[in-house]
Amino acid sequence: MGPTFWRLFLVMLKTSSTPVGDPTALNNRRFLGKGLRFLAIPLACVAMTPGANVAETSGAASAPVQAAAPAAMEGISEMADMAEAVAAPVLDAVATPAAQAAPASLNLAVTAVFNERAQGMSPKVLAAALDAVSCAQNRGVSGRNDLLTIIDYSLPSTEKRLWVLDLQKGEVLFHELVAHGAGTGEKYATRFSNVMDSRQTSLGLFLTGGTYEGGNGYSMKLRGLDRGINDRAEERHIVMHGAWYVNPEHARRQGRIGRSWGCPALSQEIAPTVIDTIKGGSFVYSYHGQASVASSCGSPSTAAPMVAAAH
């Protein structure tokens, strides 16, 4: 049922934005009507299953926010990590046996998006993420099929905009705040880069690697899979880590959460748990509407093998 469900899902999206007078609208709606009748019984069964469990962070007990020059303190934290990073030891292997998990169930993933505990996730963002993963796998990139992390940078930093989906169970495992780079914008992310020292966030598809202890504590390496878009992530020391400035209190005081030097930083409380869940070869997709990377099924990125690094 997977391919039929996925086609139906995409037609639903297309139909919702197709003008009534468009010649394709009628055909789309005819297919949609047939598809809904076909899926009525299985969807009803899914709807009767228990809701997904979502691990969320309260943001409490984070490091004190300094009254003077908070932006400077964010920079100091990043600089400390940069100084130690090159020699940081690798604690985990890049890949794990879980990478050979069974294929993802698209219908369960879509169901998870519409679950009340997956608030804020756009079906179009999920569609783009799954398409990017499919293209990467078609061009020979090996990754875990059981998990998918999605970051929607079109949302403000004050909203939880990172989701970790269990594609096998159709559950949302985490829904968290995540920082963007200082060069990417203030409350909203507006600029993205793959350039050294830009302190900007990169978009596109990443593969998670191993973990290490760096200047920002427990951190996880990321490998960019899109040539020219994010394939310098390792060279730029773009990693996932915890940060004191990612918490609701900082957002209330500053009108936004703190910003990194391009890393997807999480709250210090939840970062270790999220990292341990997605490390070792799962996919991470960073999205931003019109600025997002179009999926390419061409040649894979020629990025160098992962090295231990932090920013």
Is residue 167 in a domain? yes
Residues 60-72 pLDDT 10s? 333 333 334 455 5
Residues 196 and 258 in one domain: yes
Residues 11 and 119 in one domain: no
Is residue 98 in a domain? yes
Residues 42 and 86 in one domain: no
pLDDT over threshold 90, residue 239: yes
Residues 24 and 165 in one domain: no
Domain range for 218: 70-291
pTM, rounded to two decimals: 0.67
The CATH number of residue 287's host domain is: 2.40.440.10
Is residue 65 in a domain? no
Is residue 310 in a domain? no
DSSP per position, the chain: -HHHHHHHHHHHHHHHTS-TT-HHHHHHHHHHHHHHHHHHHHHHHHHTSPPPP-B----TTPPPPPSS-HHHHHHHHHHHHHHHHTTPPP-S-S--GGGGPPPP-HHHHHHHHHSGGGTT--HHHHHHHHHHHHHHHHTT----SSEEEEEETTS-TTS--EEEEETTTTEEEEEE----BTTT-SSS---B--STT---B--EEEEEEEEEEETTEEEEEEEE-STTTTTTTTTTT-EEEEETT-SHHHHHHHSS---BSS---EETTTHHHHHHHHTTT-EEEEE-GGGSPPP--SSPP-PPPP-----
Residues 163-211 pLDDT 10s? 999 988 888 999 999 999 999 999 999 999 999 999 999 999 999 999 9
Total tally of structural domains belonging to the chain = 2
